[in-house]
A and B are shown apart, each in its own frame.
Chain A
Amino acid sequence: MIQPASPDLITVYIDGKEIAVPKGTNVIEAAKRVNVDVPHYCYHPKLTVVGNCRMCLVEMGLPAVDPATKAPVMDPATGKQKVNWMPRPTIGCATNVSPGLHIRTTTQMVKDCREGVMEFLLINHPLDCPICDQAGECKLQEQSAGYGRGYSRFVEKKNVKPKRTLLGPRVMLDDERCILCSRCIRFSKEVAKDDVLGFIDRGSYSTLTCYPGRKLENNYSLNTVDICPVGALTSTDFRFKMRVWFLKQTNSIDTESSAGANTVVWSREGVVYRVTPRQNDAVNDTWMADSGRVLYKEIRAAGRLDSVRVEGSESALEFALGAAAAILGKGGAAVVGSGRSTVEEQFLTRKLAEALKAKASLVSRVGEGDGLLVTADRNPNVRGALVTGLAAELPSATLGTLAEQIDSGAVTSVVSVGEDLAAAGLSEAQMAKISIIYLGTHANATSRAARVVFPTLTVFEKHGTLVNQQFRIQRFAKAVPGVAGAVDDLTVLSRLVSACGGAYLGSDVGTVWTALSAEVPALAAIRYSNIPDTGLLLDGSPWAALPFAEGASLHYKPGSAPQEAAARG
């Protein structure tokens, strides 16, 4: 036996394969490491273990020791320590590794167990896969292919349970499909801290339901849909919209707050159908807020800007850039950057301000944090602005200084990168007094007052990076093409910079990053292409003294150094 590499590692044998795993690992996770799949339904790595589905039954053996002397009992045939196999199968989810543990997952007993459980789960299941939204990502469907009988021995009547129960505004329940794994109940209780789900009745008639008078309407309710292994819980938004196997998955980031939950955007033929969380154990585990899942609707929301406009008329990009440069060239220019822009955009915004010798200001968005994945800072990338040097301090809620400068006549033109100046406190008179150049996705008071408007892209239509509250730089990718008429933010900004006398830094993420890493010390060793899927922690210590708005949330404690965050991750 090979000695464990460190005291915390325990050597176990899974189907004869030796592996050292950390203490406290269960058999399912240990098996995963040697590519042995232990099928399961109720077990979820982020929830407590209940062991109720019985799908993960495996055969377990412990090294034989002499009961009297505690000396290992050796098998003369193999020269190895004998293994005492348990006569009964044991569940993998609730069995933690112990030194020398042997697990068999390929024996007849294990096969019988899986087939038995599979058959039981299917006898009262409606088998309505053709009309079920879960089809294609259904564990029951997948595992019935592996362990199902292929025909039914069940000739009795199936149990009848409630169909189409609306548990809350976003979650629909089909009790007949439910396999009573209790993942949703545990999630509501343990993670969302909103204990509204439970079972009523007993035995095979057990039925999932909400407590009387309560609804599953917390901002995390859709996670129950994600973790439901079958089609019992479905999203009212996604239900009956698209077959999942037609959808393309693109890694993205939730931009609703500085938590930066990792997401997957599911799209087909340029249309986004849903957004689901992507596992990142250092950021969002496997969860995300419901509010972040509807952000894709902004792509096709009314008021989307879809043409470059100069003085209200549709215009060519070249002409508009010229017009903007002419306005800004007169002097007295100011730049309003955004904590919602990507790192690359913020860098170019800074370059623009430098070219114009103008001051850049940012607008804050502070709400109430929920302690989980919606933080107090609703700008997803304020720290990006700090890192790129666009801002040296935290943004304020209103543009007070800018307003004074407008009143005094010191500022006569403003470039706004996605920020509505009216919402940021400028009066109608102040906005009328200046020439506005607006880059943004949707129409608002600023776009209407602007002399030049550049329609830009939403987060779903472009590549980029964001720096979350942990100073973790995270990458997102383009899921769908931009709407017709819109121009990539980087193109507009880069060309505006060069039109205003600065150097042209490229209009694609890769080229911008060449300049970024050359100029920003914190990003020196990084390229867009080498940021891992789970992000990269930056050194946030230069900004540690700033009074950030965030309170404690999942995997984040205010004031904790990023290094600690890395250790927790």
Chain B
Amino acid sequence: MPAPQQHRLIFRHIDEPGYSNDLACYVRNGGYEVLRKAVQRKPEELIDEVKKSGLRGRGGAGFPCGVKWTLVDRKSGKPIYLVVNADESEPGTFKDRYIIHQDPHQLIEGIMITCFANKVERAFIYIRGEFPEGARILEKAIAEARAANLVGPGILGTAYGCEIFVHRGAGAYICGEETGLIESLEGKRPYPRIKPPYFPAVLGLYQCPTIVNNVETLCHVKHIADMGGEAYSKIGTPNNTGTRILCVSGHVQRPGFYEFEVGKVTMGQLLNEVCGGPLPGRTFKAVIPGGSSAKVLKFGERYKGKRKVGADMVDYDWGVDDIPMDFDSLAMIGSMGGSGGVIVMDDSVSMVEALGNINAFYSHESCGQCTPCREGSLWMKKITSRMVHGDARPEDGALLKSVADQIAGRTICAFGEACAWPTQSFIAKFGDEFKAYPEAKKQPKPDGVPELV
């Protein structure tokens, strides 16, 4: 089956020749018309549209956006804040950066609609420290929008006003975790908070109810407000509505970003047709479907079970190529859609070395607050580093798995899973390679296979 056409909703103007990131260009292309209409509607209507749309968060967890907004404590009398999570730090993910760099006003419009719908008067864009250019672009775009009465007090002739602030992070992955982000925004170490009781919807930024949404999610809100929740929900597949930006990196002919209706494209179509298949002379070995913390998929393995299609349960028997790229299917086969970062590895990759790389990242990024993740992530890194650079032992794979098992599910935040899942899945699926690694290490690389750098 040929791959479907891309459905460019969010990325419509990305890399479009002649399209610039200033306000004039955005307005020329119909920008801020949706906001103009939205502020004439009732805020509750907009929330209903988002609920109807079935929009799921694009940051990683895929939590329904409308539900998140409903959970916000609106009776506390405290101000409600919107925090925009632009700390795009999951390895393999590079979608928000393009929105911020090339189409910042789309984000600002999404933010303003969201703020209006939720009666938010202060929004904070938390942008990762490694995006200085993005932060400057956003600052400039906000200033432009403010000058045009699109942001700030009394927008577009209404009594409603909202300020947007840009806050730069200082280079920590954990600031992408919403409560860690909030702590960082408050000026503290980004130690994720314990939940309960510190759910952002109730006790978020400065202990006030707070909505934390991903950049891409907020852009979707703009389109939902535009076309209506009903129409939006027809894009994609049931419970996996809208479009999804997939960031493909690694060993394919054409890595890059591709926007498809959620669930309409399979992994095989994406990698083989859209991305042009493996590099010459290589075959695919493994793929991580949703950012480096998602569980790895092994080419050649089969996923079987029953799934719901409409009202019926039907059997499915998929190879990696057959998996639809949506939240539910990827969760069903034991991985996750995550942040949409598809990392492809071909047969030149040693899984031990690949895991070593991932473990190095997570041990460097563990905030160090709670014991299992703090100690476990570094231990796993020390084991894989020793395997790669020192003495590998056949029993190291089993030890790695046992360490990972002691982390997942026992930590304050989801980082515990994020750092344990790669190890757990690599060992589960490539355990033999780990066992054989001490011997394999002694063999010279086959000719023509370049060393990994």
A residues apposed to B, CB below 8 Å: 49-55, 57, 88-89, 91, 94-95, 112-113, 116-117, 119-121, 123-124, 153-157, 159, 179-180, 198-199, 201-206
Contact = CB atoms under 8 A, between A and B. Distances in A.
Contacts of A50: 194, 369
Contacts of A153: 399, 402
Interface string B356-386: 0000000111111111101111110011001
A369 to B, nearest CB: 32
Contact of B368 (A89, A112, A205): A205
Contacts of B368: 180, 199, 201-206
B406 A116 contact: yes
Nearest to B367: A202
B409 interface: yes
A206 B374 contact: yes
Q: Select the residue from A53, A91, A157, A202 with max chain B CB neighbours within 10 A.
A: A202
Nearest to A116: B406
Given A120-B406, A199-B368, A201-B368, 12 more contacts: A50-B194, A51-B412, A53-B370, A54-B412, A89-B409, A91-B194, A94-B194, A116-B372, A116-B407, A157-B382, A198-B189, A206-B368
Nearest to B368: A206
Ranked 5 nearest A-B pairs via Cβ: A116-B406, A120-B375, A206-B368, A156-B382, A204-B378
B136 interface: no
B410 interface: yes
B183 to A, nearest CB: 12
B194 A49 contact: yes
Nearest to A156: B382
Contacts of A54: 370-372, 410-412
B194 A120 contact: no
A91 B377 CA distance: 20
A271 to B, nearest CB: 39
Contact of B372 (A120, A202, A205): A120
B196 A124 contact: no
Contacts of A199: 189, 368
A206 B375 CA distance: 11
Residue of B197, B368, B412 contacting most chain A CB atoms (<10 Å): B368
A120 B366 contact: no
29 contacts: A51-B194, A51-B370, A52-B371, A54-B411, A89-B410, A94-B197, A95-B196, A116-B405, A117-B371, A120-B371, A120-B375, A120-B376, A120-B379, A120-B406, A121-B371, A124-B375, A154-B379, A156-B386, A199-B189, A201-B368, A202-B365, A202-B366, A202-B368, A203-B363, A203-B366, A203-B367, A204-B366, A204-B374, A205-B378
Q: Which residue, of B189, B371, B372, has the highest number of chain A Cβ atoms within 10 A?
A: B371
A477 to B, nearest CB: 40
Given A157-B382, A203-B367, A88 B196 contact: no
A154 B410 CA distance: 20
For A123, A124, A180, A203, which residue has the most chain B Cβ atoms within 10 angstroms? A203
B172 interface: yes
B406 A119 contact: yes
Nearest to A200: B189
A117 B410 contact: yes
A433 B51 CA distance: 96
A103 to B, nearest CB: 16
Contacts of B371: 52-55, 117, 120-121, 179-180
Contacts of A120: 371-372, 374-376, 379, 406
Contacts of A51: 194, 370, 412
Given A117-B410, A202-B366, A203-B367, A123 B189 contact: no
A95 B375 CA distance: 24
B410 A204 contact: no
Most-contacted residue by chain B among A123, A157, A179 (CB, 10 A): A123
Contact of B383 (A95, A116, A156): A156
A155 B387 CA distance: 12
Residue in A120, A124, A179, A206 with the greatest tally of chain B CB atoms within 10 Å: A120
Contacts of B370: 51-54
A204 B375 contact: yes
Nearest to B390: A156
Contacts of B364: 203
Nearest to B402: A153
Given A52-B369, A54-B371, A203-B365, A123 B379 contact: yes
Interface string B309-321: 0000000000000
A203 B377 contact: yes
A205 B363 CA distance: 10
A25 to B, nearest CB: 15
Nearest to B172: A202
B194 A156 contact: no
Interface in B381-415: 382-383, 386, 399, 402, 405-407, 409-412
A534 B95 CA distance: 63
Counting chain A CB atoms within 10 Å of each CB, which of B367, B382, B399, B407 scores highest? Answer: B382
Contacts of B375: 120-121, 123-124, 204
A157 B381 CA distance: 12
Contact of A57 (B191, B197, B410): B410
Nearest to B375: A120
Contacts of A49: 194
A49 to B, nearest CB: 7
A53 B373 CA distance: 10
Contacts of A159: 378
A227 B194 CA distance: 22
B61 to A, nearest CB: 15
A57 B410 CA distance: 8
B55 to A, nearest CB: 25
Most buried by A among B363, B376, B386, B410: B410
Nearest to B386: A156
B378 A203 contact: yes
Interface string B6-35: 000000000000000000000000000000
Contacts of A203: 363-368, 374, 377-378
Contacts of B399: 153
Which residue, of B367, B378, B402, has the highest number of chain A Cβ atoms within 10 A? B378
A199 B191 CA distance: 11
Contacts of B379: 120, 123, 154, 156
A382 B80 CA distance: 54
Contact of B409 (A88, A94, A180, A206): A88
Nearest to B406: A116
A156 B411 CA distance: 23
B279 to A, nearest CB: 35
Nearest to B411: A54
B176 to A, nearest CB: 14
B274 to A, nearest CB: 37
Contacts of B374: 120, 180, 203-204, 206
Interface string B258-291: 0000000000000000000000000000000000
A201 B369 CA distance: 11
A54 B407 CA distance: 10
B259 to A, nearest CB: 35
A429 to B, nearest CB: 64
Interface in B156-204: 172, 189, 191, 194, 196-197
B197 to A, nearest CB: 8
Nearest to A201: B368
Contacts of A179: 371
B377 A204 contact: yes
A195 B191 CA distance: 17
Given A203-B363, A203-B366, A117 B372 contact: yes
Contacts of A95: 196
Contacts of B409: 88-89
B412 A113 contact: no
B374 to A, nearest CB: 5
B410 A116 contact: yes
A278 B444 CA distance: 67
A204 B365 CA distance: 10
